[in-house]
Structure 1
Amino acid sequence: MSRLAQLAPLISALNHRLGAFFISYLALLMAFILLYEIIARYLFSAPTIWAPELAQLLFGAYVMLSGGYLLAHKGHVNVDLIYNRFSPRGRAAVNLLTSFLFFAFLSVLLLEGWTMARESVAMLETSSSAWNPPIWPLKLTIPLGATLILLQGLADTLVDLDVLFNGPAIEEHGNDA
């Protein structure tokens, strides 16, 4: 089991690098686009037709592509009242018992997202706004983001299996969050 668990840090590193990139640079890009729109609209009375929609499209990509990063850093919403009282092995057992919900949801998201993205790419789908940008690239982020989250979930499951059967690698001292 330990050999499989050695894949977990590689997957987490991938999600960390991609997530840090998308979280930092896409957020910065969205901020600049919206700042440009505010300046154009209120200082020059020349609003754009593209800035709000582009920021919205980038935000969709931001949300989809940063999910694996959030999961790797335990950033998703979690109810910890009882869970944190368990030992590391107990938490690993709970994670494994509930992981079927995670994998079922992500499998549906991946399959349906892939179908939606494939159809969107096939017709080179655009929005129906005045600006009319292509939205098929955004739809491609759905299966890509689902794959990143699924990979991180697999990595976490491998670690949980390793903890359950071999015990924690290092003793925990307090809470990371």
Structure 2
Amino acid sequence: MLSTIFNRALDKLIEYMGVIGYLLILYCMVFGVTDVFLRYVLNSASQWIGATIQAAMVLIACVGGSYALKHGSFIKLDLFYDNFSARTKAICDVLTSSLTFAFLGVLIWEGTASAIMSIKFNEVTPTAVPVPIYPIKSAIPLAAFIVLLIVIKQFIEDIKTIIKKPQ
């Protein structure tokens, strides 16, 4: 019961993250074109658009990574993997998951340390219009933790697939 509630909540959170990613992509497109128009047509460069687009792209990577992982949208080398049985795929996924856990652990650990320092020093961009950086740096370990939850969920499913008796 509790795991079902957790799975539904995680799935809903990831779908919301997908919507956020979609909106951030629209933001980047609209303001990227606006910046080019201002710079080359009106000869009046923006002081803040470039910095906010860079921040938006970091956030797109954060929310898009979890969304893509949940929907199986990452590019894989399926030359051999695609022909494996479900059980063999699960075994391969469990064997390689240690690398994923290690990467996410370092990303969460170091990302949290970086975010804490950024918050402590109220870090902003070194531009004419100072844009806060600490919210972006705080989003990185948070997004990595959400990806970790997805990976743990998939890891458990892979273990179930491995120990399930073939029919």
TM-score (norm 1): 0.84
In the other structure, the counterpart of 1:155 is 153
Preserved CA contact (<8 Å) 2:28 2:53: yes
Q: Which runs of 5+ in 1 are unaligned?
A: 169-177
In the other structure, the counterpart of 1:37 is 35
Matched letter for residue 152 of structure 2? L
Preserved CA contact (<8 Å) 1:96 1:160: yes
Which of 51, 65, 68 matches 1:53?
51
What is the percentage of aligned positions where both structures have the same residue? 28
Which of 66, 76, 79 matches 1:78?
76
In the other structure, the counterpart of 1:171 is none
Relative distance call for 1:167 and 1:115 in structure 2 (3 A) is farther
* Separation of aligned partners in 2, 1:16 and 1:81: 30
Relative distance call for 1:86 and 1:7 in structure 2 (3 A) is farther
SS of the residue corresponding to residue 131 of structure 2 reads coil
Instruction: Identify, as 1 or 2, the structure richer in helix.
Output: 2
The alpha-carbon deviation at position 7 of structure 1 amounts to 4.9
Q: Deviations over 1:32-81 (max 9, x none)?
A: 11122122222322111111111111111111222111111112232111
In the other structure, the counterpart of 2:14 is 15
Relative distance call for 1:93 and 1:5 in structure 2 (3 A) is farther
Matched letter for residue 22 of structure 1? I
In the other structure, the counterpart of 1:107 is 105
In the other structure, the counterpart of 2:61 is 63
SS of the residue corresponding to residue 60 of structure 1 reads helix
Q: Which runs of 5+ in 2 are unaligned?
A: none
The alpha-carbon deviation at position 4 of structure 1 amounts to 5.4
SS of the residue corresponding to residue 81 of structure 1 reads helix
Please provide the CA RMSD for this pair: 2.2
Dislocated runs of 4+, deviation >4 Å: 3-10
Preserved CA contact (<8 Å) 1:15 1:69: yes
Preserved CA contact (<8 Å) 1:68 1:148: yes
TM-score (norm 2): 0.89
Higher RCO by CA contacts (8 Å cutoff, separation 6 or greater): 1
Count of matched residue positions in the alignment of Structure 1 and Structure 2: 166
* Separation of aligned partners in 1, 2:83 and 2:130: 52
